[in-house]
Amino acid sequence: MCDMGLTAMAMSAASQAANVGAQRQQAKAQEASQLQASLSEMERFQLAQRAQRERQSDEETTATLERQKARREATESIATTITAAEEAGVSGTSVGQAVAEYARKDAEYQAAITMQQDMNEMSRRLGIESASNAYENRMAQINQPIAQPNYLGAALGIGQTIAGGMFNYQKQQATEDLMNLQRKSITKQTKLATQNLKIARQTSDNIAASLRASQLGTYNLLERQRQQNLGYITPSTRAQ
């Protein structure tokens, strides 16, 4: 019985150890999966940021070229107007107005380019902020808490199995002890009953022997009286 209890406890401990091992392997697999997914998401985010910076650089280069081109065209137009006016001998307000008009158009164009750059920058910042938030959310979803092996639960399970096995063993042992006591009591009672039976038989035999002796004495007495009555008893017989 003790061997069976030890075997059960050993099997329970092995089962708990196997469960902990499986949990540990599952945790390692989940950790590796999260690491791979995190690296992929990080690479994707970095590529998106690099593309955003390249697009920003292209936009700034294009805006700079547009500014330079517009300024150069305005400068050339002003110079051409002034040269033509001098060759024609024209001067005064009309020339100044023409030059001012070219300068005004150039300033408006430069302002439009600046406004477009500001709008692009605002949109870029919003895009970067949205992409960063999305990146953080995806990383949080990927890196969920990993369930670690339940060492405490395994230990408690083994402890409960051991306690249950010990309780069952003690219960079985107490039952066996009680049965042994009962068997001893029955054996003792059987021996006592056998002895009483022998005594009763001996007493019965003694009573029967006494009864037979009494009956024989009575018979002899009656026989003597009968013979005496019949006159068969001689003096020598009477002396006896």
For the stretch 1-14, pLDDT in tens is 445 555 655 666 66
- Considering the domain architecture, whether residues 116 and 165 belong to the same structural domain is answered as no
Domain membership of residue 163 (yes or no) is: yes
* 158/167 Cα distance (integer angstroms): 14
Pairwise pLDDT comparison (157 vs 176), residue with the higher score: 176
- Considering the domain architecture, whether residues 143 and 160 belong to the same structural domain is answered as no
Which domain range does residue 178 map to? 152-232
How many other C-beta atoms lie within 10 A of the C-beta of residue 130? Answer: 10
**20-29, 114-123, 143-152, range with the lowest pLDDT:** 143-152
Q: Which of 124, 149, 174 is the last residue of a domain?
A: 149
Q: What is the pLDDT of residue 1?
A: 45
Q: What is the pLDDT of residue 61?
A: 92
- Considering the domain architecture, whether residues 96 and 210 belong to the same structural domain is answered as no
pLDDT of 30-57, one tens digit each? 888 888 888 988 898 889 888 888 888 8
Average pLDDT over residues 204-228: 75
Report the share of the chain in percent with pLDDT over 90: 3
Say if residue 174's pLDDT is above 70: yes
**37-51, 97-111, 148-162, 205-219, range with the lowest pLDDT:** 148-162
Say if residue 119's pLDDT is above 60: yes
Q: What is the pLDDT of residue 160?
A: 63
Average pLDDT over residues 70-82: 87
Burial of residue 128 (number of CB atoms within 10 Å: 0-12, 13-18, 19+): middle
- Considering the domain architecture, whether residues 163 and 71 belong to the same structural domain is answered as no
Pairwise pLDDT comparison (140 vs 18), residue with the higher score: 140
- Considering the domain architecture, whether residues 181 and 134 belong to the same structural domain is answered as no
**8-17, 113-122, 223-232, range with the lowest pLDDT:** 8-17
- Considering the domain architecture, whether residues 92 and 178 belong to the same structural domain is answered as no
Cut 0.85: pTM above it: no
The first and second tokens of residue 126, run together, are 């919003």
Domain membership of residue 238 (yes or no) is: no
Average pLDDT over residues 124-149: 84
Average pLDDT over residues 80-98: 79
Pairwise pLDDT comparison (113 vs 197), residue with the higher score: 113
66, 113 Cβ separation under 8 angstroms: yes
Q: Which of 125, 149, 173 is the last residue of a domain?
A: 149
How many other C-beta atoms lie within 10 A of the C-beta of residue 13? Answer: 16
- Considering the domain architecture, whether residues 72 and 123 belong to the same structural domain is answered as yes
pLDDT, the chain, mean = 77
- Considering the domain architecture, whether residues 133 and 57 belong to the same structural domain is answered as yes
Q: How many domains does the chain have?
A: 2
Domain membership of residue 141 (yes or no) is: yes
Q: Which of 123, 149, 175 is the last residue of a domain?
A: 149
